[in-house]
Amino acid sequence: MQGKQPDGSVAILRRLLTFATTSAAVMGMSMGMQTPASAAPSTAARLELVAFKASPFPYEGQPPGRDKPFLDVEQDGRRGHTARGGNIYWEDTTYSDRRTLIFIPKGFDPARPGLMIAYFHGNQSALVRDVWRRQQVPLQVARSGLNAVLLAPQFAVDALDSSPGQFWDPGAFRRYLEEAAMHLARLYGNPWGSPLFDALGVVIVAYSGGYYPAAWGIRHGGVGDRVRGIVMLDALYGEMDTYLRWIERREAAFFFSAYARSAREENAAFQKLLAERNIEFATAMPAKLAPGSVTFLDAGEEVLHKDFLTKAWVDDPLMAVLAKIPGYPRTPPTARQHRR
């Protein structure tokens, strides 16, 4: 679930990137904070924290179904939000980070079939400390072999709060993806290439409390049939009706939910709902996450929720799941493979 914003400064991020570059050299990756000087596309890996205009936060609206604004507390000139459980979190420290962690793996080609992986973190998380360093999400995307880029927006910083913020608003997720296409094109080295990124399919990955903003993203985020799949990693804690409706009209998109002890009851209840509607699903890891498939995987009794992104039924489970998405290889097939 989520953690305190690391010293958060660009200087610290640069030091972390230096460390990551040294480690990633073994894999042939070259991460950097700077945009390529040339407009020519780059085949090197690129990682950057980017402030978005269409970010989940700041948010000053009134959440759907609530009788008061999101920022419902004011004290000594500070505005705050009363989260579930009664915790008060302040706008300036918890709900003001506009950044998204963007990652383009080495060898990614936007002209070939590809995907955007939208990763929605859980509670008590910060992008650098948790999504990047602890959970190794960019590294897992790189190692999956998928021709895909990563978007990881910051929601509430280091808080027991899964609020979607702007993603509550109709069409907000679509606007976020449109802006992401421009940032990705610039980072890739072709600022005129945003239409290529805007045409990519989307796979939403939710961990823990990320299920809530993910549900709003598909409910009325304006992304239509662009979503190719949903991956829930110990995350199916609620919004059952939203995910059920999405599965009923999913057509060629897949749904995958892996869980341990903390989400076992909810996953069992959801499977019952699907069975009542005669929707077929599997309960073992398939060879491929075929379009239109629905899969549930019990990761085991001993798996810890806090470690689920790095050690579940396998090490690096996100990498394992992404590697099973067919049709988007990062490396083009060889002539011999074409003949088979």
Residue-wise pLDDT for 219-242, tens only, equals 988 888 899 999 999 999 999 999
Cα–Cα dist 45/106, whole Å: 4
| Residue 215 scores a pLDDT above 60 | yes
Mean pLDDT computed over 295-320: 97
Domain assignment of residue 4, yes or no: no
Count of structural domains within the chain = 1
Enclosing domain of residue 25: 10-339
| Residue 336 scores a pLDDT above 70 | no
Do 54 and 175 meet the contact criterion of CB atoms below 8 Å apart? Answer: yes
| Residue 30 scores a pLDDT above 90 | no
Domain assignment of residue 134, yes or no: yes
Question: Could you give phi then psi for residue 309, rounded to 5 degrees?
Answer: -75, -15
Q: What is the pLDDT of residue 248?
A: 95
Domain assignment of residue 124, yes or no: yes
Domain assignment of residue 5, yes or no: no
Cα–Cα dist 173/55, whole Å: 9
pLDDT band at 42 (very low <50, low <70, confident <90, very high): low
pLDDT band at 208 (very low <50, low <70, confident <90, very high): very high
Domain assignment of residue 289, yes or no: yes
Look up the pTM and report it. Answer: 0.87
Q: What is the pLDDT of residue 76?
A: 94
Q: What is the pLDDT of residue 251?
A: 85
| Residue 6 scores a pLDDT above 50 | no
Domain assignment of residue 27, yes or no: yes
Report the CATH number at residue 252. 3.40.50.1820
Q: What is the pLDDT of residue 41?
A: 57
Question: Phi/psi class of residue 136: alpha, beta or left (left: φ > 0; alpha: ψ in -120 to 50)?
Answer: left
Domain assignment of residue 30, yes or no: yes
Domain assignment of residue 14, yes or no: yes
